[in-house]
């Protein structure tokens, strides 16, 4: 709830206390009507949705923001039971919340799913303020429900979480996501001796395509390649990711290295056979692939180290002419040389 809303609510409660004082001095009915009118005018400028209901749960007032949020007009809901029209679900358990006002003597708040008459569910934060009208014999107690719509905020959070984990061009998991998966795979190898295979795929000749056809052509190639690589996942547990501008990776979980090696050889061949056509011109493509085994021997490594080693293997494949697969061997002179130059 905003500071402005809190300040207004507190001010209103103070005002009602003053009104009670004057009720004792003057005509109770006139003073009550004046305080109620002031309350409604003040709530009209609150940025959040506000609904006032009686102790018997009948709707007494709905401000403009509440009309918009609840998809109703004040005149159509006045005097009706609030819980007969709407319901609340606990945000975490999704269980219906009943008897929310029973015994309530001070402000309370919480996160709820507000279920509208059309069954639409809205993520909300609701603060309930008791309003004491005890000086008026006709109205002993009411409650102001200040309803903050969190839908847009939650949507933004979900969007940011997605951007943090996924590549926007291919909709594949990104480098950060594959690092998390590698971390789990390494832990699995340490604890249970499981074997995994990590495949690092670096596209060849993309600079030539960029120079001849521009960035848009390369982006189209990346999208086509992502679609093609999806067909080379062997199980639903395998993870395909885009790890940099022209590089992909596949983590094959709990598999036999000999089987994956043959599978990756077919993958490498299939890439060289792909037809990439941009503006009626066909461009040859291929990939340099680094292959790395994850098992108990290297399970103490970090996820970034695994990525780096697999990248080195792909660079060795490219240095040998590209369009081939290179298995990472930690004591290989070519590996040691490249690590020394990093």
Domains 3-156 and 166-341 share a fold: no
Pairwise CA distance, residues 265 & 257, whole Å: 12
Question: Which fold does the domain 166-341 belong to in CATH?
Answer: Alpha-Beta Plaits (3.30.70)
Q: What is the pLDDT of residues 166-211, one digit of tens each?
A: 999 999 999 999 999 999 999 999 999 999 999 999 999 899 999 9
Q: Are 55 and 99 in contact (CB under 8 A)?
A: no
d(C-alpha 106, C-alpha 117), whole Å:
28
User: pLDDT tens-digit profile of 225-279?
Assistant: 999 999 999 999 999 999 999 999 999 999 988 889 999 999 999 999 999 999 9
pLDDT in tens, 97-109: 887 788 787 888 9
pLDDT for residue 115 is more than 90: yes
Residue 236 has a pLDDT of 93
For the question of whether the overall pTM of this predicted structure is more than 0.85, the answer is: no
* Per-residue pLDDT band at 31 (split at 50, 70, 90): very low
Confidence label for 303 from pLDDT (cuts 50, 70 and 90)? very high
318 Rama sector, left if φ>0, alpha if ψ -120 to 50, beta otherwise: alpha
Where do the domains of the chain lie? 3-156, 166-341
Domain 3-156 in CATH: superfamily?
PAS domain (3.30.450.20)
Would the pLDDT of 4 be above 80?
A: no
Q: Which residues pair with 90 in a beta bridge?
A: 112
């Amino acid at each position: 709830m905003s500071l402005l809303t809190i300040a207004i609510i507190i001010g209103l409660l103070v005002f009602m206390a003053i009104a009670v004082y004057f009720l004792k001095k003057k005509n109770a009915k006139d003073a009550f009507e004046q305080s109620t009118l002031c309350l409604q005018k003040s709530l009209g400028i609150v940025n959040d949705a506000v609904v006032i209901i009686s102790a018997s749960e009948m709707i007494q007032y709905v401000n403009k923001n509440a009309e918009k949020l609840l998809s109703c007009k004040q005149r159509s809901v006045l005097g009706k039971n609030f819980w007969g029209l709407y319901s609340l679900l606990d945000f975490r358990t999704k269980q219906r919340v009943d008897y929310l006002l029973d015994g309530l003597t001070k402000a309370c708040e919480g996160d709820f799913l507000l279920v509208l008459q059309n069954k639409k569910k809205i993520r909300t934060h609701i603060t309930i303020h008791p309003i004491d009208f005890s000086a008026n014999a006709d109205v002993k107690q009411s409650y102001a429900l200040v309803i903050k719509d969190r839908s847009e905020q939650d949507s933004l959070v979900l969007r940011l979480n997605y951007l943090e984990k996924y590549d926007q061009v291919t909709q594949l998991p990104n480098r950060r996501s594959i690092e998390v998966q590698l971390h789990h795979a390494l832990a699995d190898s340490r604890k249970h001796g499981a074997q995994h295979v990590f495949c690092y795929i670096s596209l060849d000749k993309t600079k030539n395509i960029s120079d001849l056809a521009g960035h848009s052509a390369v982006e189209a190639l990346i999208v086509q390649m992502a679609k093609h690589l999806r067909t080379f996942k062997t199980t639903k547990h395998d993870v395909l990711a885009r790890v940099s501008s022209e590089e992909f990776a596949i983590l094959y979980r709990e598999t036999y290295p000999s089987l994956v090696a043959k599978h990756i050889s077919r993958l490498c061949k299939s890439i060289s056979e792909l037809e990439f056509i941009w503006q009626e011109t066909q461009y040859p493509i291929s990939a340099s692939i680094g292959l790395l085994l994850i098992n108990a021997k290297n399970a103490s490594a970090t996820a970034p180290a695994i990525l780096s080693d697999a990248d080195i293997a792909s660079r060795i494949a490219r240095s040998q002419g590209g369009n081939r697969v290179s298995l990472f061997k930690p004591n290989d002179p070519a590996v040691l040389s490249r690590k020394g130059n990093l």
